[in-house]
Structures are given as structure tokens and as C-alpha cells.
Chain A
Amino acid sequence: MKDNKFVFFLLIPSFFFIVFFYLYPTLYNLFNSFTDLNLFKLRKGGNWIGFENYIDLFVDPEFIRVFFNTTIWLTLVGVAVRIILGLLLAFLINSETLKKYKLTGLFQVSLIIPWATPSIVAVVVWRMILDPQVGFVNQTLVKYGIITEPIAFLSNTSFVWPSIITIITWNTLPLVTLTFLASLKSVPAELLDAATVDGANKLQRAFYVILPHMIPSIIVMILMSTFWTFNNFAYVWLATGAGPGTFTNVMATEVYLKAFVDGRMGYSSALGIVMASIMTVFGIIYLRMIVKRNLKEIF
């Protein structure tokens, strides 16, 4: 009993930290989502309007496009590209060929550079690279006759999403690759030797020995990348400002536009709560996986 009191006493600071640092802002946002709080009337506060913001949100035809952009383009395509490229790069860096020519270190270092680049700098650099007038990509394509007129990559509807995905991938791929590389290096050598003795070729070893070993880290990376991408504001906003028109508008940029351009803080809070609810589902999956894995390790 005495021990329990002591443990409770030790937990008090953490309890207050969680309540005031995490729970209070979330509940405050939830409260705001039921009001008509306006940016221009912050001092006055908002009036209680019940579920009106949520109803407005779900009947707004623009919400379908914003939701599609966020889930399909930004998250699904963005994460899939990163995971596939990350795996391929990890295999390449871990390959015997690179080791033979002593290029492994060079590849690893060159991966650190984009990783260490802040997202705002990454977008600015890529905007310059993709610029229709002075950008390296357009100049090269025109020079070699691949295109006759420069392409406005960040405002042409056929190219704008692939361009945004390219920028995000460039900046975030290194972490995925290095995580997979660490997992790849932890594959027991005796397992690979046994597979070789049993007659497995390189492809079979990769599919039947290495990949199953990497599954936990792949799943964790998928979930983590989903968290980071779904809520991301900076890449889309800095690259396209959610345009052309509202073509690349995603939920995070819509929250900003509704709160700080239209001044509808209450509506924006409702949108934030919807985003948080979607992410909670992924959070529960993640936590269940981690808890399950930890229990397995203990028992």
C-alpha cells in the first residue's frame, strides 16, 4: 500500500504534463469545433452552435476533393513511393557490388544530406529546380529536345502531384532507407547461409528470408510515414499554396485556409478534430502492434 502511494506520487508530474500539455489543447479544440469562433472576434469568443460545423463540413463538396487529395495522393501514393524506393535503395546500399567498389559509405553519406535539409529549404530548392524559366529540369529537357516548351511542373495539373511527391520523397526517403538498411543488416547470416545451402537463389533469399525478417520494420515505417504525411502542411503549402485553384488542397492546408484566410476558427477546429480522429485509428493500430511485439519479447 505504501509502495502504491509512492508510485502514485512519482506519477503526478507526468499526469499533470499529459493533462495540461496534451489533453487540454485537444479538449479546447474540441470545444471550439462546436462554436462559431471567428479570427476577427477572438477576444469575444465563439457562440455554441452544436454540430453545425461538422454538418457544414460533410455536406461541402470541396471536402470530398480535400479528403481524396489527402488520403490518396498525399498519403497513399506518397507513402507507397517512399516504402518501395526505400526498400530498393536499402538493398542497393547493402549489395556486394557497392561494397566491392567501396561505394557504400558514399551512398550512405549522400543520403544524409537530404535528410538533414529542413523541409522549407527542400521545397525552395526544388521550386528552383522545377522552375519553367531557369529550372535545371526544364533547361535540360529543352536542350536535349525532349520537350519544346518548358513545363510549369508546379501548376500543370498533370505534373503537380508527381512533383509534390518527388519533393516529399527526396526529403524523407533517407530515414526510411536507413531504417530498412539497419533491419537488413540484422538478418542472421546463418539463415542466409542455410537458404543458400538449400539451393535458394538471390531472388528467393530476398523474398523468402530477408523480406519476412524485415516485415515488422516495414509496417512500423508505413505507419510512421502515414502519421507524418497525413498531417503535413509544409510541403503542399510551400510548393503550390494548395493550387492551382484548389487542385492540391489537402486537409492541413484547408485547416489553415479556413482558420486564417476565411477567419472561421470553429469550422477549422472541426476539420482538425476529423483529422485527429482519422489519425487515432492509425495510432491504435500502431500501439497495438508495439504492445503486441513488446509482450512477445517479454514472454
Chain B
Amino acid sequence: MKTLVNVLIIVTGLLLTIKNAALAEIELSFRFNDAGQKEMRAALDKFEQMNPGIKVELQRIAWGSAREQFLREAAVGEGPDVVHIAQVWTRSMGDAGALYDMNELIEEHGIGEGWGDFISADLASQDDGTIHAIPWTVDTFAMVYRKDILEKAGITEFPTTWEGLHEASVQIKEKTGAVGWAIPSGSGPTNSIWFFLNFYWWSNGWSLVDRKADGSYYINITPEQIAEGLDYYKSYLDKGINPQSMLNVTNWGAQELIEGMVRGDYSIISTPENVLVQIESAFKERYPDKSNPFASTIHPKSSVTFVGGRQLGINVNTEHAEAAFKLIKYLTDEPVYTDHYAGMWPAQKTLIKQLPQVASHKGYKDQLILARSWGPYSTGPIPIPTMWNWVGRGAGSVFIGEKTSIEVANEIYENIKKEL
């Protein structure tokens, strides 16, 4: 009898424990797409310790498929609770009904130093004020170069015009054999040439999509001006100062570029700051006795670049919106950037001022001051990925000589005109 009572007590105890655990435990899923999964896991472990009732599963998907995968999932009631998205996707995803309306959560729990402190807040919300994501990180492209190779080529000052950069690349090739500006010229749907062409166009005051004071959208560039940009980059390939192998390279942070910069085969690239972090880390590991030869600066002609970045959204299908928001609040706090997500600028003005900066990364801060948001590109009627694909594919056709620059320029112009 005594044994039976003991067994009953144990079983009852176990059942109560299981029941309580089930009640207390919230299981969140967070889809984080950058490298550094180990560091992010450590950050989430800390979050779990601070919030005993919440467990977070870390998921990952390649950036190339992240957008459509989430849209498909959200449309059928699935997907992760918290999702890591490019800032230019937020408005269209929110419009598609895939993201949770965060206004009430922000009102109730607050976020950072207030909504006004966030950069790219315009891209995280709709015109009617609905907030669909919290800006997490911002970045921009800057010119990264090898001081030692430029010095060897007799270049003491980094060029400040597009023509000057072209001439410097010729000079570097002739005097050192290294490639000057290594431009990834591949034409996949998320190609880099889209950015470089826009930098060129913007620095001349042109823009594929612009907005009038009355709110309507228009093309602020002619086909001839589009062609000028295409010809500029084609000339690097035609003259052999950008190797043909760059037609294989699509991504701005491709291993070929990192390795080329570390080995000194390439001397200049245009890339976001996290890629410079990878280059410096690889260089230090391979040549521990050598001093850091890298520096960064702004693009030629004080070119405007874009404020890129990532945001954190909550899936509209989540059953744990409060817990998901708690996780977002934690991820947008300073310790995450300093301890776990190093090399990323927080999308909050106050935090940017507080974070320390390495000398070789100075160019990024200077470039961020010049950077602009995607603005009308993002709020306009043509999704950025669609224009990105048109421009990248078109540039690819020009680079291989399949079409002339003016033919492609006319196609891009007509496509945009039709959609506007």
C-alpha cells in the first residue's frame, strides 16, 4: 500500500511538473540569416536566462531565398515568430499581410530611446503609420583599399572622381600587376552591379525613381544617362583592368573578393563594413606579424550611397506576439551589438554615437553621413528586387557584348516607365 502511495505521489508530481512546464514555456523561433550563428546563439542563451519562460529556436535561411520563403509561409499561416529581413522588404511584406502590426506593442512597452531615434524608420512603417518592423542594423558601402599596393603604384591620395578611380586602376595594374578596383560584375538576381550603377547615377544627380512634391513618382534619368553608367563599368572589363573572372562574381562579399584582398591580388573593392571585418580577420590570421594594410574611404565624387540594413519583424501568424517583441527589444539593446553582433552599426542614432570605431573603418562613418535611404525606390510602385533584376541582367548583357548599353538602357527605361 505504501509503495502504491509513493508511486502515485511521484506520478502526480511528474504530471504537475510537466503541466507547469508546458504552461510556462513559450517556444519562439527566430530566423536569423547572417553569418555568426554561434555568436547569435550565445546572445539567445543569455535572453533565455533572463526570461526563464521563453525558449528560442534559431533558424537560418540563405538571404537569396529569405524573402519569398517567408512570404509563402506567412500566406499559409506558417513561418518563424521573429524574422530577419532586409529593410527594403518590410513595406511590401507588410502590405502583403505577412507582418504583425507593432504600434500597440511599441506604445505599451516602448523601444530603445524612442521611435524617433531609429534610422530607416520610414522603411519600417507604411504611409498610414503602421509599424511593421523594428530597424536593427544599418550599413552602407565604402571603398576599401590596400594602402601598401596604392603606395607601390605611386598613388598617395585615394581618387575623388570616377575618372580618377579608373585611371588609378590602370596605374595599379601597370605598376604592380594587381587589380585596381575589383568590381563584382555577375548578373544574378541579387547582383552587386545594381549598387555601383546607382552610386554612379546618384553622384550625378540622376535616379531611376524619384518622387514629386505632390507624391507622384517619375523617372529622373534619361536612357543616355543610364547607358553612361553601364559604359563606365564596362570599360573596366574591356580594358582588362577588371578581370573577366569578375563576371563570375555576383556578391559584394564573395570569397573571391575577400581572398583577393587578403592576398593582394586586388587592391580596391566597394563593400559593406562586415566584409572588411572578415578581410581584416583573415589577413591577421594569415600574416600575424604584418601590420593592417587596409583603409576605407568614401566613394568618388562624394557619391551618395544607400543606407542599407536589416530589420526585425514579427510574423502575423505568431501566437506569442508579446514574447516576440520582448526578444526584439533585447536584440536591439547595446550589449547585443558589442558582445555578439560585432561589425554591425545599430540602427539607432544614440547607440551609433556610443560605439567605438577602428581607424581603418573611418570611411564607413564618413560614407554613412553621405548615404541616403532607398526612399522613392522603396515606397514607389516597383519592388526593388524587380528593378535590381532588370538592371543586373541588363548590365550582364552589356558586359558580355550581347546588347549595347543604349539598348539595355532603353529597356530599363521603358520597363520603369511602364510600371510607374
Contact = CB atoms under 8 A, between A and B. Distances in A.
Contacts of B97: 43-44
Given A157-B402, A263-B386, A243 B71 contact: no
A244 B68 CA distance: 23
A156 B244 contact: yes
A247 to B, nearest CB: 6
B33 interface: no
Which of A133, A150, A244, A246: most chain B CB closer than 10 A? A244
Given A40-B95, A132-B245, A262-B386, A245 B189 contact: no
A59 B399 CA distance: 26
B278 interface: no
Majority DSSP secondary structure for residues of A touching B:
loop
Interface residues of B, number: 41
Contacts of B256: 131, 133
12 contacts: A42-B71, A42-B72, A43-B98, A132-B245, A152-B243, A242-B188, A243-B186, A244-B397, A245-B187, A247-B400, A260-B68, A261-B385
Interface stretch (B11-19, B112-120, B371-379, B388-396): B388-396
Contact of A40 (B92, B259, B397): B92
Contact of A244 (B95, B247, B265): B247
Nearest to A155: B247
B353 to A, nearest CB: 36
B250 interface: yes
A154 B248 contact: yes
A243 B383 contact: no
A87 to B, nearest CB: 34
B95 to A, nearest CB: 6
B219 interface: no
Given A39-B71, A132-B243, A241-B188, A155 B400 contact: yes
Given A150-B245, A155-B244, A263 B383 contact: yes
Contacts of B186: 155, 241, 243-244
A229 to B, nearest CB: 22
B248 A245 contact: no
Contacts of B386: 261-263
Given A150-B245, A152-B244, A241 B187 contact: yes
Contacts of A42: 71-72, 75, 96
Nearest to B260: A133
Contacts of A43: 75, 96-98
B68 A243 contact: no
A244 B396 contact: yes
Majority DSSP secondary structure for residues of B touching A:
helix
A125 to B, nearest CB: 15
Nearest to A154: B248
Interface string B259-287: 11000010000000000000000000000
B46 interface: no
A40 B383 contact: yes
Interface string A141-165: 0000000011110111100000000
Nearest to A39: B71
A245 B96 contact: no
B68 A245 contact: no
Contacts of A259: 68
Contacts of B68: 39, 259-260
B403 interface: yes
Contacts of B250: 241, 243
A245 B403 contact: yes
Given A132-B243, A133-B256, A150-B245, A245 B383 contact: no
Contacts of A157: 400-402
A257 B390 CA distance: 11
Contact of B396 (A131, A150, A245, A257): A245
A246 B389 CA distance: 10
Contacts of B247: 152, 155-156, 244
A39 B389 CA distance: 16
Contacts of A41: 95-96
A131 B245 CA distance: 8
A52 to B, nearest CB: 15
Interface in B16-74: 65, 67-68, 71-72
Contacts of A246: 187, 393, 396-397
Contacts of B399: 244-245
B409 to A, nearest CB: 14
Contacts of B244: 132, 149, 151-152, 155-156
Contacts of B95: 40-41
B188 A243 contact: yes
Given A40-B383, A261-B386, A245 B397 contact: yes
Interface in A225-280: 241-247, 257, 259-263
Given A241-B187, A247-B402, A261-B389, A152 B96 contact: no
| Shortest beta-carbon contacts, A-B, top 5 | A245-B397, A241-B188, A132-B245, A245-B396, A155-B247
Contacts of B396: 243-247
A166 to B, nearest CB: 16
A150 B265 CA distance: 14
Contacts of B71: 39-40, 42
Which of B96, B256, B259, B394: most chain A CB closer than 10 A? B96
A139 to B, nearest CB: 13
